[in-house]
Structure 1
Amino acid sequence: MVTYGAEYLKRLLAAVERFEQAFERWMETQVESDLRTSRGLYPTVHVKDGQDQVSVRERELDVAETAGAAARAVAVTGARIGVAGLGALDPIANWSLMSAPKALFSPQDVRNTAATVRGRLGMMIDEAETATETAVPGFAPSELHPVIWTAAAAHWTTHQYRVAVREASEALTVHWKTRLGRHDVDDTPFWQQTLSPGEPETGRPKLAWPGDPADKTTRSMRGGLEPLGKALNSLATGLNLTVRNVTTHTRDELTEQEGMERLAAYSYFARLLDKCEVRRVDEALQST
């Protein structure tokens, strides 16, 4: 079972609280009813007479923005509401449907869901902070490298582990292509060129492991092995072939354990890349 760090859970709790504040500010501009009053045919909210439309729209946008973050907390806590014919839905993510005909939720449904999420997050935070150390440490995916977890999070929390790994692998490549200005090449050649030995060329910067290549700490614990920089090239190619390509070109789902292992591999690779130096051709010198 996935465990989440206390700090991550606290950030989710803060997001829910921001949503609640924005929601209540918006509700000040609305006439509120419930599903029984609307008879299942009409909206459960509509704008009060005499409201400034610009102000209403601004508050509505605030709700939409904060709902995006708060909905992640619903996925983590599982606090959804069952709707006949549609299954379990998230009232926070679907708050705007209250203004539509045949509204699925009432304002009280949204409030109740937010309160339930806060309660569950509070319990999860207490458990995370008071948990004692065990022989096998818990896995906190939110502590993975930010590029990896940001890309994987939305899919991981809905148990789409294969898609989470695929998105994380692609996100790391896009991240470094953007940093190096290399959108002119496919993924595997990009890593091969970027991590290969030798000097950078015009339009082809390189990532190099810092330090003297002759130093054993740079080369490895054994001087006879290839330098770590070249090992990174092999690691990039290996991950691309065994993880990224498999999750992209097949539909075989991964287990949670398999997904964790693959994300952890990419997270470690991402942290190694962060330690590398970016080496570019000195354009000014080359033009003289």
Structure 2
Amino acid sequence: MSNEYSEDYLSRLRDAVERFEAAFEAWMATQVESSHMESRGLFPTVWAKEGQDADAVRRLELDVAEAAGLAARAVAVTGAYIAVAGLGMIDPISNWSFMSAPKAPLAPRDVRMTTANVKGRLDAMIIDSAAGTDSDLPKFAPAQFHQVVWAGAAAHWTTHQYRVAVREAAEGLTIHWKQKLCRNNVDDSVFWQQTLSPGQAEPGKPKLRWPGEDGDKTVRSIRGGLEPLAKALNGLATGLNLTVRNVTTHTRAELSEQEAMERLAAYSYLARILDQCTIDRGDDFEPESEPV
């Protein structure tokens, strides 16, 4: 990972995050600050203090928005997303303005914690980049892995805990789909076997299906290969769970960066295939498509 981004680029990105932090705190000085507990999930977590000049507040908001745009890439590069119920993985820096909305999914603490986390991860990446050696080999950026996979791995990857990074990525992908399908009561391997097996879903046991209308000729053609595709996905998911996740959970031997990268790539590929599927929840539901 250390050589995927130049030291200069990472340093500039960190400067952009610091600029966002300064603009954010200047705007926060004009706001009443609340929390998730205080807002009870119904109200904004920030609102303007009494007596504030509305034009001045708007100018400060625009400063934050501009700085957030400049720093937006930082969360993707470092993988410092946070999980929000109903929204999935989101970037608190880009979405800071959500705090002012009813049922705000973010609080000021989320933005500050993410900003500090991003700066720390960038510092680690800058150190790696400075220590890295040039190579003629093609560069491969783990930050370009599927968002759910990289979000689970990133914090440990930047500290070279590759075994833990793979374990957390595997766990994160499974948890993501178990929550989406409301199947938290089954073991991981059983979950993948049932979810990707051919046949109709049963109420309470949804399946992932290839999308499309039944009467569409192209869809019918694709559906002809659905069962072998499902078997392949089933084998891939179950195999990854057994050969990657369980092995990394039960051993203390550290993986090399290359070994960990190969395992994360397999999970990322699987995650992107799953994103293209629709959810069949059984006879009581129509198949639905849900973006990650």
Paired with 2:13 and 2:166, the residues of 1 have a C-alpha distance of 23
SS in 2 for 1:278: strand
What is the aligned counterpart of 1:215 among 221, 233, 249?
221
Larger Rg: 1
Deviation at 1:61, TM superposition (A): 9.3
Paired with 1:78 and 1:199, the residues of 2 have a C-alpha distance of 52
Deviation at 1:17, TM superposition (A): 2.8
Unpaired runs of 5+ residues, structure 2, are 29-106, 213-217, 287-292
Match in the other structure for 1:39: none
Give the partner amino acid of 1:283.
D
Task: Give identity over the alignment, percent.
Answer: 53
Match in the other structure for 2:119: 70
Match in the other structure for 2:281: 280
1:65-98, CA deviations, whole angstroms, 9 ceiling, x for partnerless residues? 532322221121139xxxxxxxxxxxxxxxxxxx
Asked if residue 146 in structure 1 is aligned to residue 156 in structure 2, the reply is no
SS in 1 for 2:174: helix
SS in 1 for 2:269: helix
Paired with 2:210 and 2:267, the residues of 1 have a C-alpha distance of 17
Unpaired runs of 5+ residues, structure 1, are 27-57, 80-119, 125-130, 221-225
Q: Taking structure 1 as the reference length, what is the TM-score of the superposition?
A: 0.59
Match in the other structure for 1:267: 268
Paired with 1:60 and 1:177, the residues of 2 have a C-alpha distance of 28
Alignment of 1:122-161 (within 5 A): 136-161=137-162
Q: Taking structure 2 as the reference length, what is the TM-score of the superposition?
A: 0.58
Paired with 1:284 and 1:255, the residues of 2 have a C-alpha distance of 45
Alignment of 1:231-270 (within 5 A): 231-270=232-271
Paired with 1:62 and 1:183, the residues of 2 have a C-alpha distance of 29
Q: Name the stretch that deviates more: 256-265 or 275-284.
A: 275-284
SS in 2 for 1:74: helix
1:256-277, CA deviations, whole angstroms, 9 ceiling, x for partnerless residues? 1001100111100100111112
**Gap change, CA 1:209 and 1:13, over 3 Å in 2:** farther
SS in 1 for 2:208: strand
Deviation at 1:215, TM superposition (A): 3.1
Deviation at 1:216, TM superposition (A): 6.6
Paired with 2:126 and 2:185, the residues of 1 have a C-alpha distance of 42
The number of residue pairs the alignment matches comes to 198
